[in-house]
Each structure stands twice: as C-alpha cells, then as structure tokens.
Amino acid sequence: MAFFKKSQSNLAFLGFTFGFSWFFWGVLIIFQISYSTTIGFILHSIGGFGPVLGAIYCLFMFESKEMRQSFWKRCFLFREKKWLWIAISILFNFLISFFVALIEFFFGTNSSSFSNLGAIVLLPSQLVFVLLFNFLAATLEEPGWRGWALPIIQKKYNPLSSSFILGVIWAIWHFPLYFIPDSYQNTEVVFGSALFWVFNGYIIFPTIIMTWLSNRTDQSILSAILFHWMINVSGEIFNFSLDFEFVRLGVYVVFSIVLIWKDKMYLPLDQYSYD
C-alpha cells in the first residue's frame, strides 16, 4: 500500500510537471513566439518551473509535515564530509570540460573550445548572468527530478535502472524546446541531428553520476543543484566542435561505467547498499 501511494504520487508529479511545462512551451510553439522576445523568454522561463512546482504540489498532497521538513532540509544539507561533496558537485563537470578543452586545443584542428571564455569570464556582468541564470535553472529542476522522483523510483528499481528511467523522462521533458523558435535546442542542437543525440547523452549519463552522488550524500538536493548548475555553466563557457562534444560525452560514459561497476549499481534492489 505504501509503494502504491508513492507510485501514485510520482504519477501526479509527472502529470503536473509535464502539464505545466509543456503548456507554456506549447504556447510558444503554437504561436511561433521567438525565445529571443521578451514574452518568449518569460513563457520559456515559466515553463521551467514545472519540476519544482510538481514536487511542492506532491509534498502537500501526499506527504506529512515531517516529510516536508525533511525535503526542505535536503535542499540545503549534505551528510558527513560536507565540503568534499560540495567540491565534487561543483568541480566535477567543470574539470571534465576543461580537460577536453585542453585536448582539443592541443590536438584538434581549428580549436574553438576556449572561444567563449574571454567573452564570459572577463566580463563581470556576463559572468554573473551565466552563473545566476544557470543556478536558477538547476534550482527549478532538481527539487523535482532528484529531490522527489529519484527516491521514489529507487524504492522499486536499483540505482542503474532508476537512472535510465529518470534520464529518459528528463530527456523527453525537454522535447518541446526543440520546436520553440530561436531557443538553444532549436538553433544550436536541432531535433534529430548528431548534436541532438549528444545533448541527450549529456542527460542520460550524467543522470547515472547524479544518482550515485545523491545516494552518497543522503539524497541531498543541494548536491544535485550544484552538479546540474555546473553542467550548464561548463556548456556555456566551453565551445566544443562536434567531434569533441562526442569526446566529452565519452568521458561521461567512462565515468558512468566506473561508478556502475565500483558502486555495484546494477545489483538487484534487495542486494544493493548505499553505504
């Protein structure tokens, strides 16, 4: 009965999240409103509130006061080794991107990996915007995906299966963005292109790493926010060619495989331990 209630709450979460986000993004698609316009930016941003509002809705609909308090604490707390986990959450993605950028710089032809660096890092206003905007984006998503959905999915499936399930859901949630005029997904990624598959790989494989991180930090939502934040920031600071986007994705795949093997994320749920 307890699991049925959890499954029901997760369905409610997904229904609310997808319904809310896709409604606002759907308006942009139906009326072909450009993301670069003021109303386009506003509606696009409002749609991004779907995951966090879905989590809040389910917290008040399905959980006790004690569980709600626990959820909010997870937004700010880690378990032991707090500073180690904060460092991993922030630096992991940046260091991967920096490492691949160096490889492209020294061994690639017509390297563009550092072409955005000066325009962002050396301009305080631009740097502040990139940091704050992407932190807000991560904050609007992770209380829903890693804060609400992942713990419930892991009650039935092992960490590896849970990661793939959540990763696919997360990827599908982004789909309307490919059809919003002048959005990043519409102009830079393009639905069905090679970069489209890379972009979705950046969703699936980091999800495995984020599941591992979540389980190691007592399901800290803050760790997920920081990790997601630096995925986005790194993507803006470094400008890889398509070949080296595949290289960077390959690094994520390797790290995912290592964590799957080392943490035994493939074990049946009744045999897996987070400790």
pLDDT-above-70 percentage for the chain: 94
Least confident of 110-124, 170-184, 232-246: 110-124
Q: Is the predicted pLDDT of residue 213 greater than 60, yes or no?
A: yes
| Residue 10 one-letter amino acid | N
In contact, 159 and 273? CB cutoff 8 Å: no
Q: Is the predicted pLDDT of residue 2 greater than 60, yes or no?
A: no
**Which residues 6+ apart lie within 8 Å of 162 measured at CB?**
150, 153, 154, 211
Span 76-118, pLDDT tens digits: 876 667 888 899 999 999 999 999 999 998 887 777 777 777 6
Least confident of 84-88, 133-137, 167-171, 194-198: 84-88
| Residue 262 one-letter amino acid | K
pLDDT-above-90 percentage for the chain: 71
Q: Is the predicted pLDDT of residue 144 greater than 50, yes or no?
A: yes
Closest CA to 105 of 227, 221, 262, 241: 241
Give residue 37's pLDDT band: very low, low, confident or very high (50, 70, 90): very high
In contact, 250 and 97? CB cutoff 8 Å: no
Tell me how far apart the alpha carbons of residues 202 and 246 are, in angstroms, rounded to a whole number.
Answer: 10
Torsion angle (degrees, nearest 10) of CA 100, 170, 63, 22: 130
**Which residues 6+ apart lie within 8 Å of 216 measured at CB?**
85, 274
Q: Is the predicted pLDDT of residue 122 greater than 60, yes or no?
A: yes
Tell me how far apart the alpha carbons of residues 3 and 167 are, in angstroms, rounded to a whole number.
Answer: 21
In contact, 64 and 136? CB cutoff 8 Å: no
Running DSSP on this structure, what letter comes out for residue 113?
A: T
User: What was the pLDDT predicted at 1?
Assistant: 39
Q: Is the predicted pLDDT of residue 3 greater than 50, yes or no?
A: no
Tokens coding 76: 């700010």
Question: What's the mean per-residue pLDDT of the chain?
Answer: 90
Least confident of 3-12, 25-34, 118-127, 220-229: 3-12
